[in-house]
Amino acid sequence: EKWDFVLVSDIHEVGSEKEIKRKKFLDELSKKGFTIKKIEDKKLFYGVRAPKHIFQKYQWLLRNPDSRLQNSNAHHDIPVTTSFSLLRIRIVNFILQNTMTPDLEKLHDLMKKKVFEATFPLHEKEEVREILTEKWTRWRDIFFQQPIEKIRCYFGEKVALYFAWLGWYTYLLGIAAVVGLVVFVAGITVFNSSQVSKEICEANNTIMCPLCDQKCPFWLLSDTCTYAKVTHMIDNEGTVLFAMFMAIWATVFLELWKRQRATVVTDWDLYRWDEEEEELALELINNLQHEPRQYQHSYFRSTIILLLVLVMIAVLIGIAHALVIYRVVATALFTQSSFEFLREQANTVAVMTGAVLHYITIVIMTKVNRRVALYLCDLEKPRTFSQRENNFTVKIFTFQFFTNFSSLIYIAFFLGRINGHPGNYVRIAGRWRLEECHPSGCITDLFIQMAIIMLLKQTISNVMEYLVPWISHKLRKKQQRPKKRNMMLGEEEEAAEDPCKRQWLSNYQLNEVNIFSLFDEFLEMVIQYSFTTIFVAAFPLAPLLAFFNNLFEIHLDAINPRTPTASCQRGLTDPSSPAGIWLQVLEAVGILAVIGNGLVIAITSDFIPVQVYKYTYSPCV
């Protein structure tokens, strides 16, 4: 026998408040025709199965009105978006979440009060095993096409569309990765061929001002010979061509994904699915007396939210300023260090440690940004869940964009341009000189910053993303083992007589589904897409790093206990397309990529000044 959902509760004392609240909720489900089965172990498990007439009502309500009048048994015009098991899960979950007790409490309220501990639908074991073993989780199949249709049939459209988008993005990213690698290798081959670098290396008589106020001597321009060669390796004619290529690639990628997405959405019949219509149908199924609530837009509330968003952005920009202050102070301290290496490479070490500190702020502020975005969405009170999801997406991406890129924007466009000149330096607190670019240019600093952040995000973050839920899953599973080992013979026979018990226990031991898990994956990939397009002129290896990261990301997401796959409790799904709002975000990133790379070439890069010098003022002329 199959059950739609399982509710888990602690064993409360008879007559206690929690026991009474639990009984009231289960009584309300019984009144709606639900079948309930109770199994007692360390916890109380309640299997819930909805009556057939609920699904018949759903089909009838979502039927085309004209066909409903012509033939009451016709249902061919209902959009078939998911398998029937997923449809059952969605309908039953809605009813469970919106069933109200006589005390005006819903399931969410009861879970807050620890009346129920968990609620989850059950995995279908055979289907999970078939999906996971066929060309998805095996490492040897990492370069093969994913079984998107099977993923969709079991996990739903949202999960399937995420993997379809990730696969398509990674496929086209391979082209950009090859071009970026060719440009970087070409830069290595011209390491010693730059005329400007040669002139810097030969400038033995050009004396430069000290780089700090104390313990910094005058220095020769030729001391920066190696740095100048490294800068030319990054900042050359090929870099300009690669920036132009990536601007075109970003546009082509989006247009091709729109075509691919349209094909997928049409094949899955998602165009005919309307979230608001289904939500109203589910409300009527749950309560025939339901009346659609009136919604009126509040300009006052929107103004308050806009002001709060601006305040949050100001805070994020303030954090970027704090990182600038750190680099200024760190440079000053390193130049006074007793270690010769730190004194000589004070600026580079400050940039590298600043990049690590920037990564730490990204990790911390990601959690803060989510809480703030959720609070603003609650304050905004959108009319539908879809609007809430879209508003949340825009807000958190905006916050994450400023968190990730404020410091990079400063290095690319402001570093070395607002620090004053000898005799009139701009100082912080009247003491520390504002940092300035290396004589060979700022693009190397931008290269170092992007390289460190991308490497840390794709190593430490991914390892933690997988290990923490995996360890949590193992510990949760281990806690259940002593019970099984110490079972008496009679209890073993009881478990054998009731096949539901073992299945419910095994599903309960899995990690709970994080409602933000899929959203977090989309956000992570869109931020990565921003890194590989907006400042790619300064870091040609960004697409290559992203490509290899995504090859592992697809596989790890398939087996990761954090994502809604078979390693965790079965997730809830609806046919709404999360890639819809993300598509608009990607289009915005594409526009920023064209503008950003153009500004990097015009402002950050020394390509244009070098060309002017080479063909106008160079001794070779």
For the chain, which residues make up each domain, given as ranges?
5-65+79-122, 148-290+298-475+517-617
514 vs 244, higher pLDDT: 244
User: pTM (2 decimals)?
Assistant: 0.81
- What is the pLDDT confidence band of residue 488, given thresholds at 50, 70 and 90? very low
Closest CA to 581 of 305, 328, 394, 426: 394
Most confident residue range from 414-418, 434-438, 483-487 = 414-418
Type of residue found at 620: C
Cα distance between residue 550 and residue 526, in whole Å: 12
Asked whether 257 and 250 are in contact (CB, 8 A), the reply is no
C-alpha to C-alpha distance for 107 and 111, rounded to whole angstroms: 6
Choice among 197-211, 335-349, 485-499 with the minimum mean pLDDT: 485-499
**Local confidence band at 60 (pLDDT 50, 70, 90 cut-offs):** confident
Torsion angles phi and psi, residue 592, rounded to 5: -65, -30
Q: How far apart are CA 587 and CA 573, in angstroms?
A: 26
Count CA within 13 A, CB hemisphere, residue 17: 4
Is the per-residue pLDDT at 319 higher than 90? yes
**Residue 305 or 575, more confident:** 305
Do 601 and 608 form a contact (C-beta atoms < 8 A)?
yes
Copy the structure tokens of residue 59: 């089909």
Q: What is the mean pLDDT of residues 164-177?
A: 91
Cα-flanking dihedrals φ and ψ of residue 207, to 5°? -95, 130
Between 157-189 and 148-155, two packed helices, what is the crossing angle to 10 degrees?
Answer: 140
pLDDT of residue 140: 61
Q: What are phi and psi of 433, to 5 degrees?
A: -70, 135
* Number of neighbours of residue 192 by Cβ within 10 angstroms: 11
| Confidence check: pLDDT of 521 > 90 | no
CB-facing half-sphere around the CA of 78: CA atoms within 13 A? 21
Task: Please spell the DSSP secondary structure of 149-165, one letter per residue.
Answer: HHHHHHH-HHHHHHHHH
Alpha-carbon distance 594 to 534, whole Å? 7
Of 19-23, 163-167, 389-393, 417-421, minimum mean pLDDT range: 417-421
Six-digit token string for 486: 């110490």
Q: Residue 215, exposed/middle/buried by CB under 10 A (0-12, 13-18, 19+)?
A: exposed
| 3-class SS shares of the chain: helix, strand, coil, % to 5 | 65, 5, 30
How high is the pLDDT of residue 431?
75
Please answer whether residues 316 and 310 qualify as being in contact, where contact means their C-beta atoms are separated by less than 8 angstroms: no
Distance CA 81, CA 157 (A): 8
Share of the chain above pLDDT 90, in %: 17
Q: Look-up: residue for tokens 């049409």?
A: 266
